[in-house]
Structure 1
């Protein structure tokens, strides 16, 4: 077995370890054939730090097309399910409950270069984090995430249980934002009914699976936290917000105070870290 994949004692941030027998079983039974040792080492590192066990099917390793230096290559990447996010949130001791609802709403869609409104099912999830004064809320529409087969029809569960599936997407995204699970997507978000049926999924609501990196950026912008709520959330953490415009007049907020051991919370609030100046910032 490669030196990259060895039995380890817990490292900084590791929540789970694997024995040599576990690693051999994972490599033979739970890792795609043809995957290289570097991809496997990365996937296992994510599993260790998230506390998810591939043998218990709490995390999966899936081949996916990724663009690197302008070329499409296949890489093995970690993938979870909504229940995996719930497990991690409960294990943190910071989950104070969540609520999911759905309703029929008029939502905007862009077709043939024009915006129009359609009636759609929209799921809303509110996650209550003990460190936040207000819940983290996410709304998602069925048409954006429904898994479609190559013939354009919904996959089995998206056709038979559309409400269940879109609610799982909302819950996955709300839990990610509340707890900072940025290293993982869930298979529900990518249009699959379950991890085993990726082969039949052509795209998710019109978006190719290989374009999921662009989806992540859009999701961060999609549900911005208000300036007032942001200041309140930082105040709860004992931090302040210094606001200044750049040369173009765009306002940015800089975190003021001791941010030690608050990385996940700041990420969940939408802040980004600038290593050269060691500053947490956000565009307002």
Structure 2
């Protein structure tokens, strides 16, 4: 047996699933809990729906959940093990409606579009199942990383991200190699300059996960692409979570999105607040009277408040004052409200929706912290400015250095 054959055989032993394991929708039944998706099940149970709400898709319609269940059952991927996700993003849609006078008017509104994405653990499990089902030998090589010199390395010690990552899936001795370039896959946030109406985008930077673990992220993208090349039919339609861009929904670029969900702190909060409110009702045409949002019942408002308080706690803002600061930051207020309940129904929806968006993208704690820090810096700058009111030059320097958004 050659060295290559020996290496491949060892890799197969390490990678192959238990031959007794089942595939398809039966895989999840091994959990043995009420969250298990059983063979013959036709939809999510109440317990499963409750668990899914904790994963951030509480606003999904029955139709969206039916599609998600179908994909989970047919692929055998388990959403409760975070092998597969359904992620909602606010999307701007344009419709043309009859105006009743023989003409048409353009109406734009925000709706939540859901896309189903697969975690890297889902790709790893399925590629082994496909190999076992087909009787294929299977091995992997990588990930490897390279810089501008094109030299591939197993370890990338530098602080700067690698230029690319490479991963190879070897199926029946045939290598299927995929190369993922960092600048093509990195997910970014906008960098803003200025305040208020003068705020503008001046650049982009990697989001929190890509900035913290660039090697891991780009390596997963290369690994998923190699799995797809080795089994193109089986992986058709599966999107890797870490490779999915916020501006693409199910492979189709929509006409226009609101600012990316993972924008930095107070940046784009004006647009987000408007977008969140717009998501509840169609935007009126210029010659129409403003649409009136249906008031919340007392019970519904209490549910929205409880949801907001729970998200505040998850964002490490359990104190009343910190929560008032977060509310002011999201609503772009200059002063703090006296009570957390001093919000209109639309404002409450906007705050809770924004917090939930941050939770969905994994940025909740970071965004809440940045809002609180920005408010503290602004208060400090205002206090210093008041103390040096007799020195205009120094006062101007302080204000220029503070966050006056």
Moved over 6 A (4+): 66-72
Q: What runs of 5+ residues in structure 2 fail to find an aligned partner?
A: 1-22, 29-36, 96-107, 151-160, 192-203, 254-405
1:89-238 equivalences in 2 (<5 Å):
89-92=127-130, 93=132, 94=136, 96-100=138-142, 101-105=144-148, 121-130=163-172, 134-151=174-191, 152-179=204-231, 180-190=234-244, 209-210=247-248, 213=251
The alignment's TM-score, normalised by the length of structure 2, stands at 0.38
Instruction: Say whether the 8 Å CA contact 1:120–1:143 is kept in structure 2.
Output: no
Instruction: Say whether the 8 Å CA contact 2:115–2:250 is kept in structure 1.
Output: no
Instruction: Identify which of 44, 54, 61 aligns with 2:69.
Output: 44
Q: Against the structure 1 CA distance between its residues 214 and 27, is the aligned structure 2 distance closer, same or farther, given a 3 Å change threshold? A: closer
CA distance in 2, matches of 1:149, 1:156: 9
Q: Which one is further off, 15-24 or 74-83? A: 15-24
State the shift of 1:80 in Å: 1.7
Q: Against the structure 1 CA distance between its residues 158 and 31, is the aligned structure 2 distance closer, same or farther, given a 3 Å change threshold? A: closer
CA distance in 1, matches of 2:229, 2:83: 19
When the two chains are superposed, the root-mean-square deviation of aligned CA atoms in Å is 3.3
Q: Deviations over 1:209-253 (max 9, x none)?
A: 2266269xxxxxxxxxxxxxxxxxxxxxxxxxxxxxxxxxxxxxx
Say which structure is richer in strand: 1
Instruction: Please name the residue that 2:48 is paired with.
Output: 23
State the shift of 1:169 in Å: 0.6
Instruction: Please name the residue that 2:57 is paired with.
Output: 32
Instruction: Say whether the 8 Å CA contact 1:43–1:77 is kept in structure 2.
Output: no
Structure with bigger gyration radius: 2
CA distance in 1, matches of 2:224, 2:208: 20
Instruction: Please name the residue that 2:262 is paired with.
Output: none
State the shift of 1:65 in Å: 5.5
Instruction: Say whether the 8 Å CA contact 2:87–2:116 is kept in structure 1.
Output: yes
| SS of corresponding position for 1:153 | strand
CA distance in 2, matches of 1:120, 1:57: 27
CA distance in 2, matches of 1:212, 1:77: 6
Instruction: Say whether the 8 Å CA contact 2:145–2:162 is kept in structure 1.
Output: no
Instruction: Say whether the 8 Å CA contact 2:68–2:86 is kept in structure 1.
Output: yes
Q: Against the structure 1 CA distance between its residues 22 and 184, is the aligned structure 2 distance closer, same or farther, given a 3 Å change threshold? A: farther
Instruction: Please name the residue that 1:280 is paired with.
Output: none
Instruction: Please name the residue that 1:227 is paired with.
Output: none
State the shift of 1:84 in Å: 1.4
Instruction: Say whether the 8 Å CA contact 1:39–1:75 is kept in structure 2.
Output: no
CA distance in 1, matches of 2:56, 2:71: 14
The alignment's TM-score, normalised by the length of structure 1, stands at 0.52
| SS of corresponding position for 2:83 | coil
**Residue 55 (1) aligns with residue 55 (2):** no
Say which structure is richer in helix: 2
CA distance in 1, matches of 2:222, 2:167: 6
